[in-house]
Amino acid sequence: MLSSAPERLLVRGGHVVDPASGVDGVCDVLIEDGRVVELRPELPAAGARVVDADGAYVLPGLVDSHVHLTHLANPHAVRTNAHERLARAGVTTAVEFFDFASALNQWPASTAGLTVLGLQGIRSHQGTASQAVVRDEIAAALKGGAIGVKILGGHFPNSPDTSARVIAESNELGAYCAFHAGTTRHGSNLDGMRETVELADGNPVHVAHTNAYLRGATADVDAENRAALDLLMGARRVVSEAHLAEFNVCVGSMTDGEPDDHIVINCLRLGGFPTGAAGLEKAFLAGYAHVLHDAGAEPAHVTGEEGLRLWRQDPGGTMLNFPVNNRFSAFYQSCARVGATGSLNWSGDGEFVVDAISSDGGSWRNVILRHGFSLVRFGALTTSQLVDKASRRPAQLFGLTAKGHLSPGADGDVAVVEPNTGEVRLTIAGGRVVFDGENVASRGGKVLTTAEGAAAITARGITAEVIDLETSTFRTRITRQPAPAA
């Protein structure tokens, strides 16, 4: 059932939901040479292999705008399952948000026919980095094939001045720039998020996972959520994404008994534990700290004595999870929209304040459809709105004009999904069946990069395609402020 090469495929009889073309009903999709050719009810099979989508939703493949393909604690660990897990979750395009160079290093061992692009994390500089140092680091990221950089603030902070420089220089160089809020001045919380917008100073910036700053560290969670949405609506040249997962992920390494990753300190504080190694040990025994154990077919979150044992074995090579992502914030940030009268709403029509629903996981979790369809059942999103936030808008964030929709000429990227549960029945990427409900294809895929990065990708033996960020929402967004009510 898996395809070894793009073939003529007819996805037949499913309920197509494609906000871009306005289709929301039973329809067939014909794919040829890796692209959508036609979208119409009752197309003739005419030599095409028929994919039966009866009783299922047929959606544009998901564009996961924030994933982690690499092992965060150990960049040399090759994750053979990183792309496979995404294909199983209906994702056909993924944006690496930490270490694109390592994601490319592990490419030969982990591909599954997907389209991948990515950001390179900016290292933590001592003091304030000079403009030249910052510029060189961004230019090197572009030359290596990344479309831009990510400021890792919350985890490994830079000074406010260095962070501001990274945003400004990214703008100068035409690079994408995402920011996990936080500097040496403010933490990974609402204050850090406000600071991110201030430091951007009108230059384009992508505020990563807005929900993750809203855990009640600065005020009541509901007040924080309102303030964050007001901030996003009033900000100039800001785009954002939020995720729906319960667990976060951070790094278990310690120096002199103190966590290297500031997020670990945040989580321990939030759980009422001392912030050093002894506090982390208590947090394991209390069932709060978890080790992300990724040896089996599915990742496991291990807590208690066993989790503690796994962490002690290799603190520096361990990824940690804490159940810190507030459910209220996940709902608020994913569903908030501005209605025609300018009021903030949680159902009905409107312009979403946060651009996309991401996974912030990718290799170890992707709950976009599983939790997304919960919101559909709940009445907070329509299926069409879910597709908009999981496929169409994230594609637009990065200027991917052939992604996130099923109009003729679009890339042949399709997720066939069970209604209600959001379980993925089948995934087609670039006109190939890469997940047939049981198995995942083990080779191929392509990297989207800028003109500066194409040579580096090709030199690795990977198919490269150049994208134009100038058309992206990231570059073209001016403001979210809704038009005043008539």
124 versus 407: smaller Cβ distance to Zn ion: 124
What sign for the dihedral angle of Cα 298, 301, 307, 312? positive
Q: What is the signed CA dihedral for 5, 7, 10, 11, rounded to 10 degrees?
A: 10
| Residue-by-residue DSSP string for 126-195 | SS---HHHHHHHHHHHHHTT-SEEEE-TTTS---HHHHHHHHHHHHHHT-EEEE-S--SSS-SSHHHHHH
> 7 and 431 in contact (C-beta within 8 Å)?
yes
In the complex, the smallest distance separating the C-beta of residue 66 from Zn ion, rounded to whole angstroms, is 6
> 175 and 475 in contact (C-beta within 8 Å)?
no
330 versus 410: smaller Cβ distance to Zn ion: 330
In the complex, the smallest distance separating the C-beta of residue 332 from Zn ion, rounded to whole angstroms, is 19
Residue (of 259, 285, 17) closest to 154 by Cα position:
259
69 versus 447: smaller Cβ distance to Zn ion: 69
How many Å is the Cα radius of gyration of the chain? 21
In the complex, the smallest distance separating the C-beta of residue 43 from Zn ion, rounded to whole angstroms, is 40
97 versus 247: smaller Cβ distance to Zn ion: 97
3 versus 81: smaller Cβ distance to Zn ion: 81
> 431 and 9 in contact (C-beta within 8 Å)?
yes
3 versus 188: smaller Cβ distance to Zn ion: 188
Tokens of 348: 């009905």
In the complex, the smallest distance separating the C-beta of residue 299 from Zn ion, rounded to whole angstroms, is 15
Residue (of 118, 52, 119) closest to 445 by Cα position:
118
Separation between Cα atoms, residue 98 and residue 71, nearest integer Å: 10
In the complex, the smallest distance separating the C-beta of residue 358 from Zn ion, rounded to whole angstroms, is 8
In the complex, the smallest distance separating the C-beta of residue 290 from Zn ion, rounded to whole angstroms, is 17
In the complex, the smallest distance separating the C-beta of residue 90 from Zn ion, rounded to whole angstroms, is 20
27 versus 292: smaller Cβ distance to Zn ion: 292
In the complex, the smallest distance separating the C-beta of residue 249 from Zn ion, rounded to whole angstroms, is 7
What sign for the dihedral angle of Cα 166, 168, 171, 176? positive
Q: Minimal CB distance to Zn ion: which residue?
A: 360
> 395 and 65 in contact (C-beta within 8 Å)?
no
Separation between Cα atoms, residue 31 and residue 13, nearest integer Å: 14
In the complex, the smallest distance separating the C-beta of residue 97 from Zn ion, rounded to whole angstroms, is 5
Estimate to the nearest angstrom the gap between the alpha carbon of 147 and the chain centroid. Answer: 15
355 versus 360: smaller Cβ distance to Zn ion: 360
Tokens of 244: 């729906």
Interface residue list for Zn ion (CB under 5 A) = 97, 360
97 versus 332: smaller Cβ distance to Zn ion: 97
Report the amino acid identity of residue 146: A
Separation between Cα atoms, residue 27 and residue 94, nearest integer Å: 27
In the complex, the smallest distance separating the C-beta of residue 209 from Zn ion, rounded to whole angstroms, is 6
59 versus 116: smaller Cβ distance to Zn ion: 116
> 440 and 88 in contact (C-beta within 8 Å)?
yes
Separation between Cα atoms, residue 126 and residue 54, nearest integer Å: 58
